[in-house]
Chain A
Amino acid sequence: MAKIAENLFTAGPQPQLIGGRDRETGRVVFPMPADADRFEAIALPNEGTIWSWSVQRFRPKSPPYAGPEAFEPFGIAYVQLGDQVIVETRLSGFAFDALKVGLPCRLVLEDLGGRQSFAFAPMEAS
């Protein structure tokens, strides 16, 4: 399956998002910026905690949205990855009424409109 973008995440059983670390200041950002002189690519922690969350209740306009035509609401969150960075992401496999700040979660890869994308899922999910 094609990826939604190149150099966004590593594949495999324990996928990781690819961020960039400012070579001078150590500041970590996601995604990895185009400026590879200033930023070095690093694999971000595979697990984190929900920093804030919401639910996308209506289908975003296409373009740019490339998800399936049949719309199901999806969770969204900022997830704190250790002491490195907080990333914005879709959620997968969470019951909406169970969402709260501080919940642990882990990165998973999933199909989105025929391409491989990323989301964060509950820890117990396999």
Chain B
Amino acid sequence: MAAMTSYRRMQLYGALLLLPAAVLLATFAYLPTIATLINSLFLPGFRGEPAEFVGLENYQLLIEDTTFWRVARNNLIYALGTIPTSIAIALGMALFVNARLPGRGFVRMAYFTPTILPMIAAANIWMFFYAPQIGLFNKLLGALGLSGVNWLGDPSVALTSVIVMTVWKEAGFFMIFYLAALQSIPPELKEASDLEGTSRWSFFWRVTFPLLMPTTLFVLINALINAVRVVDHLFILTKGGPNNATNLLLYYVYENAFSFFDRTYAATITVVILLVLAVVATVKFAILDRRTHYQ
């Protein structure tokens, strides 16, 4: 009996320790998620009328909404454009600054600087690069005798411009993770493979890259979440235009909720985003985690 009580007490003790985190998570993550899910099943009530339950009608609307599909396609291109590129560049930069080179500390700092800048500030800088007449890129093109491009105004170029800026911003951040991982690889591994005349290329693919897999997986998930989550630069650069050419899912949610005041439709899109992210993350973990070596 006494043992039972002490066991109970331990359980209570453990539950109490979990409570603060659980309360915070529930209040700011789980409750809003559930509220969003419920919201997505209603139509907004106008002029003080209560919201009307409509079941899956919002989802029906979503499927028929060509703008949504346009935005979803944009976001897919945006993800495919930013994730592999920024990871590859991050890895390249990390390998470069991990080697012995003069002024290594300075180069590392330079690579990391874009990460320290707030997205809004970075976007403002890039506004000057992209500006049609006075922008840096067009000035450079002009100096070469080429006619300028309307980087943010041309629907066929605008999304690429946004992607380039995002890659610039993210690569330095991911580089830090790769650099930390590279430094945890013992130098003897390189020496042991040097003794067998292993080429650098072969060493990278047979040893370095596999040992970096946990980092790659982490960075991949982060990059994916960022591709959907971070839309600050759109407010500065394009506001989703021209003609939705650079509109991304979260920005579209924002537009629906705060420009068109269609909260329930915004909730519907949010639920879809959550579902897609959950599925992709699960698949990534299921496939890559098994092949990843954790030290």
Q: Do A and B come from one complex?
A: no
Chain B residues with a Cβ under 8 A of chain A: none
Chain A residues with a Cβ under 8 A of chain B: none
